[in-house]
């Protein structure tokens, strides 16, 4: 599933192709991916809108038109937004096609089809996942007193807690495992067992792994591609994720694979406590 760095890379790579382009036509091949309003109204309203800005919040992308309308895209498991030139072969698994001025096509492609699009008009619809997002990594809002307050009431695993988008926006399975490895904290520790020093280490680690992921254009394990259809390179820099049974890069011990918060989890039993 694309996480914050992957979505940020999609935003960066799409922006030069779509900015100030007008949507000429919308072709919806899988109507259930349009969550609001009806697919017909969605297409009707978008035609003639000019894309004035492309923003990211957590794992969501927002297309802004400089009007009372915005389009919110969530790629979920396997969604991808890809731009091609008009006449170029269409990308695989194309479900929704936006014809733009300037000879560009914007495609919402999705293998497993859990991705969603919402058109929000005058804030007429609430997206609970979008409206209740917690602070982003690398911002001053994600600080020790904030996380201390969150954790003191929570017995759940620290990994499960940092995967909660209302606690921290943008982390998924890859960057949660990586942050806990960098911080030296066991993923299954109850949230309320972390002391102040550990919380500080964890925040620094979250900020570090997200920054590194962005620098490396995201992590590609299976399907993630950016707006140009290219893969990321962060998979070569990971400490633990996807490395079960391999030696820890710090101490050489064999990395352990288990399940925490219902998710596949990899950690080093020597370096993480
Ligand atoms: Zn180790």
What's the CATH code of the domain at 51? 3.20.190.10
- What pLDDT was estimated at residue 223? 79
Q: Are residues 76 and 110 in the same domain?
A: yes
Report, as ranges of residue numbers, the positions in the chain whose pLDDT lies below 70.
none
Q: Are residues 198 and 172 in the same domain?
A: yes
pLDDT at position 153: 84
Check which CATH number belongs to the domain holding 176 and give it. 1.10.8.50
Tell me how far the alpha carbon of residue 240 lies from the centroid of ligand 1, in angstroms: 9
- Can you give the residue range of the structural domain that contains 58? 4-131
Could you tell me if residue 23 is inside a domain? yes
Same domain, 110 and 171: no
**CB-neighbour burial class of residue 257 (10 A; exposed 0-12, middle 13-18, buried 19+):** middle
Residue 59 and residue 177 in one domain: no
Distance 272 CA to ligand 1 centre (A): 7
pLDDT for residue 222: 80
Q: Is residue 63 part of a domain?
A: yes
Q: Which residues of 217-230 are buried (b: 16+ CB within 10 A; e: fewer)?
A: bbbbeebbbbbeee
Per-residue pLDDT of 33-46, as tens digits, reads 999 999 999 999 99
Q: Residue 255: inside a domain, yes or no?
A: no
156 occurs within a structural domain: yes
Together in a domain, 231 and 118: no
Q: Are residues 101 and 204 in the same domain?
A: no
170 CA to centre of ligand 1 in angstroms: 26
Domain tally, the chain: 2
Co-location of 125 and 160 in the same domain: no
Q: Residue 251 Cα, ligand 1 centroid: separation in angstroms?
A: 4
Cα-Cα end-to-end distance for the chain = 27
Q: Which two tokens stand for residue 252?
A: 């050489």
Arithmetic mean of pLDDT over the chain: 96
- Please tell me the distance between residue 145's alpha carbon and the centre of ligand 1 in angstroms: 29
Same domain, 221 and 182: yes
Please tell me whether residues 51 and 113 are part of one structural domain. yes
pLDDT score at 123:
87
pTM for the structure as a whole: 0.95
Q: pLDDT, tens digit, for every residue of 45-97?
A: 999 999 999 999 999 999 999 999 999 999 999 999 999 999 999 999 999 99
Distance 185 CA to ligand 1 centre (A): 11
Question: Are residues 99 and 179 both part of a single domain?
Answer: no
pLDDT score at 262: 96
What is the per-residue pLDDT for 106? 98
What is d(CA 153, CA 27) in angstroms, rounded to the nearest whole number? 48
Residue 272 lies in a domain: no
36 assigned to some structural domain: yes
Are residues 163 and 118 both part of a single domain?
Answer: no
99/181 same-domain check: no
Helices (H) and strands (E) in the chain, counts: 7, 11
Q: 229 in a domain, yes or no?
A: yes
- The reply to whether 270 falls in a domain is no
Residues acting as catalytic residues: 2-3, 59, 263
């Amino acid at each position: 599933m694309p996480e914050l760095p992957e979505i940020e890379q999609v935003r960066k790579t799409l922006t030069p192709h779509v900015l100030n382009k007008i949507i000429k036509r919308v072709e919806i091949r899988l109507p259930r991916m349009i969550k609001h309003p009806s697919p017909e109204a969605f297409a009707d309203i978008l035609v003639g809108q000019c894309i004035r800005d492309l923003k990211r919040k957590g794992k969501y992308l927002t297309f802004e038109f400089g009007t009372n309308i915005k389009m919110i895209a969530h790629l979920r498991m396997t969604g991808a937004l890809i731009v091609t030139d008009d006449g170029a072969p269409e990308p695989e698994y194309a479900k929704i096609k936006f014809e733009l001025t300037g000879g560009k096509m914007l495609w919402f492609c999705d293998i497993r089809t859990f991705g969603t699009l919402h058109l929000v008009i005058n804030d007429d619809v609430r997206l609970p996942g979008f409206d209740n997002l917690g602070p982003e990594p690398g911002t001053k809002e994600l600080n020790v007193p904030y996380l201390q307050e969150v954790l003191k009431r929570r017995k759940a695993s620290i990994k499960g807690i940092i995967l909660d988008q209302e606690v921290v926006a943008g982390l998924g399975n890859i960057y949660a495992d990586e942050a806990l490895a960098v911080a030296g904290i066991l993923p299954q520790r109850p949230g309320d067992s972390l002391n102040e020093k550990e919380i500080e280490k964890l925040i620094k680690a979250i900020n570090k792994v997200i920054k590194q992921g962005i620098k490396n254009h995201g992590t590609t394990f299976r399907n993630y591609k950016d707006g140009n259809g290219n893969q990321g390179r962060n998979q070569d820099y990971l400490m633990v994720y996807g490395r079960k049974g391999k030696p820890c890069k710090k101490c050489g011990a064999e990395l352990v694979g288990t399940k925490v918060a219902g998710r596949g989890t990899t950690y080093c039993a020597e370096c993480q406590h």
